[in-house]
Each structure stands twice: as structure tokens, then as C-alpha cells.
């Protein structure tokens, strides 16, 4: 177990009142959070979203990605269902940090795609550690989920960590002219399960 439970409180939102639960990485002191809606106890699989921190998309309304759109859609869907979890995974920029993410954006402005930009900076295409999310689910007492995701890597890592995923629920929102190339790269280079609607890209993977 890489994490410990630290604190929790009520968090009223536009979609209803969630409980925000704070966790701390034991080795580093880095913090993460989960937003829990309704009663997640029992054997029924819990609708769950792992949302990686994206300051530019979540808080600054960037159209370069689909992150802010996904965050809002996931919270809305969880609240509509009446029970669920959104893990706010604080690994900004696929865990390269905000400043390196801005450096990556500058490279993308010069024509590199999102994978190439990370690699130009000396990082892997995706530096995130999703085993932390499995620990959060375990601490919340949840072992069976329906995962809101387009990313097969999340499914693979969670299942390897002992979380049973009974269904993948697609989350396809936020496509716009500013993130066309970004989304195409996620499909073609990172294997994301998206059905894009623009251009002639054969993206039905």
C-alpha cells in the first residue's frame, strides 16, 4: 500500500454533494483525492473515473485537450447514477509536471505531437502510475468497478493490481478543432479507444 487516508469532508458541487477524501503517498507526501457520491458499499460494481490532474484543462478551460470536458461529464454521470467515485490523480501532464507540460506545449506549437514532445523532453509518452488508484479504491473498500475510460492502460494496471473491472464505460466528449491532432495521437500512438468524428482518420480501434 503506497497511500494512507488523511481526511474527508462534504463537497457540494453543481451536480450534487460529494464526499472529498484526501490521501497521501507514504513515501513522498504527495496528495491525491477521491470524490465519492452516494453509498459505494456492497457488492455491486461502482462507476469509477480516474481523472489525471490537468490544470490547463480542468481550471483554465483549455481546448488543447479533452480533460476539462471529461472531468465535468464524469462528475455529472456519477451523480446521475446516484453512486460512484472520481479519483483525482495528481500527476499533472502525464506526471511530467506543469512546467514541463508547458514546455511540451511549446514543442507542439512547433509541430511535434504530444508523444514526440514528451520524448523530446526526455520523458516516456506516459509517466503516470495507476497502481496508486488501485490503492485508493482498496482504501475506499471497493474491489469491483465499472470504469469510465478510453485508456486501456488504466484497465490493465488496475486489473493487475487486484481491481475487478466488470465494464468499460466510454467517455467521449470535448472534441474540437484545437485538439484534433492531440486526440488522433492518443488513438494512433497510445491505443486510446476513441471514435473521432473529424477528418478522414481511421480511428475506430
Instruction: Decide which of 152 and 178 is more confident.
Output: 152
With a cut of 80, say whether residue 47 has pLDDT above it. yes
With a cut of 50, say whether residue 33 has pLDDT above it. yes
Annotated active-site residue 128? The verdict is: yes
Annotated active-site residue 83? The verdict is: no
- Which of 126, 129, 135, 168 is catalytic? The answer is 126
Residue 150 has a CB neighbour count (10 Å cut-off) of: 21
Burial class, 169, CB count within 10 angstroms (exposed 0-12 / middle 13-18 / buried 19+): middle
Q: Which amino acids are annotated as binding site, given as ranges? A: 49-54, 65, 67, 70, 92-94, 114, 149, 154
- Percentage of the chain surpassing pLDDT 70? 87
pLDDT tens-digit map of 168-197: 998 877 678 866 766 676 666 555 665 676
> If pLDDT is split at 50, 70 and 90, which confidence band does 153 have?
confident
Structural domains in the chain, sorted by start: 3-91+128-176 (3.40.50.10990)
The pLDDT value recorded for residue 183 is 66
> If pLDDT is split at 50, 70 and 90, which confidence band does 62 have?
very high
Instruction: Decide which of 66 and 80 is more confident.
Output: 80
Q: Which amino acids are annotated as binding site for GTP, given as ranges? A: 49-53, 70, 92-94, 114, 149, 154
Q: What are the φ/ψ torsions at residue 41 (nearest 5 degrees)?
A: -80, 170
Question: Under DSSP, is residue 90 helix (H, G, I), strand (E, B) or coil?
Answer: coil
Residue 102: all three cell numbers together: 508547458
Q: What are the φ/ψ torsions at residue 40 (nearest 5 degrees)?
A: -100, 10
Closest-CA residue to 182 (of 101, 128, 82, 123): 101
- Which of 128, 129, 146, 168 is catalytic? The answer is 128
The pLDDT value recorded for residue 203 is 34
Mean of pLDDT over the chain: 88
Q: Which amino acids are annotated as binding site for Zn(2+), given as ranges? A: 54, 65, 67
Amino acid at each position: 500500500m503506497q497511500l494512507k487516508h488523511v481526511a474527508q469532508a462534504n463537497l457540494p458541487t453543481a451536480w450534487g454533494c460529494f464526499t472529498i477524501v484526501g490521501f497521501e503517498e507514504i513515501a513522498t507526501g504527495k496528495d491525491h483525492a477521491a470524490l465519492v457520491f452516494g453509498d459505494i458499499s456492497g457488492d455491486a460494481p461502482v462507476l469509477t473515473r480516474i481523472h489525471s490532474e490537468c490544470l490547463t484543462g480542468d481550471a483554465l478551460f483549455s481546448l488543447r485537450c479533452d480533460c476539462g470536458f471529461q472531468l465535468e461529464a464524469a462528475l455529472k454521470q456519477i451523480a446521475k447514477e446516484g453512486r460512484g467515485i472520481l479519483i483525482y490523480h495528481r500527476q499533472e501532464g502525464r506526471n511530467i509536471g506543469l512546467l514541463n507540460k508547458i514546455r511540451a506545449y511549446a514543442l507542439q506549437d512547433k509541430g511535434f505531437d504530444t508523444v514526440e514532445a514528451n520524448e523530446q523532453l526526455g520523458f516516456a509518452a506516459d509517466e503516470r502510475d495507476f497502481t496508486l488508484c488501485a490503492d485508493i479504491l482498496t482504501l475506499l473498500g471497493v474491489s469491483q468497478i465499472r470504469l469510465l475510460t478510453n485508456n486501456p492502460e488504466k484497465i490493465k494496471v488496475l486489473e493487475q493490481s487486484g481491481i475487478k473491472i466488470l465494464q468499460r464505460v466510454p467517455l467521449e466528449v470535448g472534441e474540437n478543432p484545437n485538439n484534433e491532432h492531440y486526440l488522433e495521437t492518443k488513438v494512433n500512438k497510445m491505443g486510446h479507444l476513441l471514435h473521432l468524428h473529424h477528418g478522414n482518420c481511421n480511428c475506430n480501434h
